[in-house]
Amino acid sequence: MKSKITLKDGRIVILKHASREDVDGVWKNFDDVVDEAIYLPIFEKVNDYEKESWYDDIKYGREVCIVAQIPKVKPPSNIAGQCEITNSEWEAASHVGVLGIIVREDYRGIGLGEVLIDCAIRESKKIKNKKKIILSCFSTNEIALRLYQNLGFQRIGIRKKQFFMNDRYYDEVLMEISIDDYLEKHKN
Ligand SMILES: CC(C)(COP(=O)(O)OP(=O)(O)OC[C@H]1O[C@@H](n2cnc3c(N)ncnc32)[C@H](O)[C@@H]1OP(=O)(O)O)[C@@H](O)C(=O)NCCC(=O)NCCS
């Protein structure tokens, strides 16, 4: 799977499954969002061992990660964003995918998040036979919540004061979508 996408401001990216050459770019984006310190409940950046074990899961088809590669830019600066669908921790929930998304700051607000999620949902059904997608998000992350709602994710609950960061508590919003419902709503 490889597709060329023109974003709302005219820039072009290539959507594809992550491969070895993308690993540093993907984790650079992750580290930058950890530095922003308002979107993810994480303090530590990843180490090389964690990067390798993450890539093994992608390489052996255990998990799905779609990247948006910027043409003619060298790694690790060539990944504009990424959307992962990981597995649920429970054996009896192998039909459930857990969505995580990051768009690099200079590529936000021009439709990339939406196309990354769309592609990752479709690929997770095709490759991993996922039936539903779940996610969670800080209640303060209005942009992400708006994006998920626009796509049809249902808000199914809230964990009050679930995270403590920057000297304050954050509520965690839980959302989900059935892939068949999503595909029905987004026929290509
Ligand atoms: C959340 C995130 C993935 C959204 O990606 P994006 O590429 O900026 O989003 P898109 O451009 O596809 O926007 C899709 C929708 O989101 C909403 N949105 C995007 N930018 C917005 C902004 N600045 N203000 C309000 N809503 C906005 C809009 O509803 C938009 O749809 P529309 O353009 O039809 O109105 C991105 O901002 C990001 O990576 N943030 C940091 C990491 C993060 O929060 N990850 C999610 C953790 S749960």
Q: Which of 143, 146, 150, 170 to mutate to test the pocket of ligand 1 (most atoms within 8 A of CB)?
A: 143
Identify whether the C-beta of residue 69 lies closer than 8 Å to the C-beta of residue 144.
no
**Alpha-carbon torsion (123, 181, 7, 24), positive or negative:** negative
SS3 content of the chain, % helix, strand, coil (to 5): 35, 35, 30
Q: Whose structure tokens read 């939406």? A: 114
Below-50 pLDDT ranges, the chain: none
Q: Which pLDDT score is estimated for 66?
A: 98
Strand partners for 158: 173
Q: Which pLDDT score is estimated for 67?
A: 98
Q: Whose structure tokens read 């996922």? A: 130
Global pTM? 0.95
Q: Whose structure tokens read 């768009």? A: 103
Q: Which pLDDT score is estimated for 151?
A: 97
Q: Which pLDDT score is estimated for 135?
A: 98
12-17 and 154-165 beta bridge pairing:
unpaired
CATH class of domain segment(s) 2-185: alpha beta
Q: How many helices (H) and strands (E) does the chain have?
A: 5, 8
Q: Which of 147, 148, 173, 176 to mutate to test the pocket of ligand 1 (most atoms within 8 A of CB)?
A: 147
Task: Give 54 Cα–ligand 1 centroid separation in angstroms.
Answer: 25
Identify whether the C-beta of residue 153 lies closer than 8 Å to the C-beta of residue 177.
yes
State the Cα angle at 103 between 74 and 68, rounded to 5°.
45
Q: Which pLDDT score is estimated for 45?
A: 87
* Nearest ligand 1 atom, CA 135: 48
Q: How many CB atoms lie within 10 A of CB 33?
A: 16
Q: Which pLDDT score is estimated for 36?
A: 86
Identify whether the C-beta of residue 112 lies closer than 8 Å to the C-beta of residue 125.
no
Q: Which pLDDT score is estimated for 147?
A: 98
Q: Which pLDDT score is estimated for 65?
A: 97
Q: Which pLDDT score is estimated for 24?
A: 94
